[in-house]
Amino acid sequence: MRKVYVALVLMSFTILGQAQEFDAKVTVVSKRVGTTVSQSTFRTLQTALNNFINTRKWTSDVYAPKERIECNFLLNLELANDANYYKGSLTIQAARPVFNSSYLSPIMNYKDDDIYFKYIEFQQLEFNENRVGGTDAAVANLTAIFAYYAYMILGFDGDSFAPNGGAPYFQKAQNIVNNAPDGRGMAGWKAFDGLRNRYWLVENMSNSRYALIHDIYYNYYRMVMDKLYDKPKVAQGELMNVLNQLDNFNSQNPNTMINQFFFQGRATEMIQILSKADPALKVRAKEILPRVDVTNAQKYNDEIK
């Protein structure tokens, strides 16, 4: 597991030096585009995006092949108003391994509906973090979005392994937001684009006022998930500590994007952890969970017994 088997990493440094950070699968769905554009365009785009994520070196860290972060990107497209312009949604899912198990716990499960870009078949997918906007904003917007989520995944993954371990990657994502392409049709990068978008997600993870959320991520993964298979009772007790932290965070910072984001794809996981907990712990959890995760309140009430 990353940042755990340090000795093994050092012994294998020469072999691992070329390993990239992601084991990503990008899927481009073009059913809503119609027949006006050749399907080869989208097959080419899908290959290019897979190469963009999987072959680019995103960090200075050394990752063994088995340590690469498993993630999926589903790009669902439709035509925009002009030729070679597309809009749609991007669903991002990423997970990290749990210690002493084959289970992968989600670190991101999010759908971004503010996708807009220009693409011509075989164009190079270029990204320069020092010049995010590029010469053609609509062209640059595609790689800016994917690079942003690559760094956000690295940030959440880093936080799950070490206290504030994701800070440098959240900073890189923040830099993309600060210098994001700007133009007609491009949304999601600004505070006024909505209450749940790329701007607010990285803002919440970079704002010192919300520092507790980094402790919550670390404690959830290292204290709960990584102890779950060896010390299940300890993990269940630690989960209550995390829920108390979430309760405090939510009461001090109501309606933040990151609180809702934390629970996406995680309700079922928490219910499974609590299914074998002591009755008294279940009662306490059922008091807190509907309060901090309103969307799944009924699910907790029905399934935690």
Could you read off the pLDDT of 215-226 as tens digits, one per residue?
A: 999 999 999 999
Dist CA 31 CA 168 (whole Å): 38
pLDDT band at 3 (very low <50, low <70, confident <90, very high): very low
Q: Of 106, 140, 111, nearest to 198 (Cα)?
A: 111
pLDDT band at 131 (very low <50, low <70, confident <90, very high): confident
Residue pair 187/197 in contact by the 8 Å Cβ criterion: yes
Task: Please provide the average confidence, as pLDDT, over all residues in the chain.
Answer: 92
Dist CA 131 CA 158 (whole Å): 25
Supply the pTM of this predicted model: 0.92
Burial 279-304 (b: 16+ CB within 10 A, else e): eebbebbbebbbebbeebeebbeebb
Dist CA 300 CA 277 (whole Å): 14
Q: Is the pLDDT of residue 11 over 90?
A: no
What are residue 123's phi and psi, to 5 degrees? -65, 145
Q: Domain map of the chain by residue range?
A: 6-206, 217-303
Q: Is the pLDDT of residue 13 over 60?
A: no
Q: Give the mean pLDDT of 205-214.
A: 97
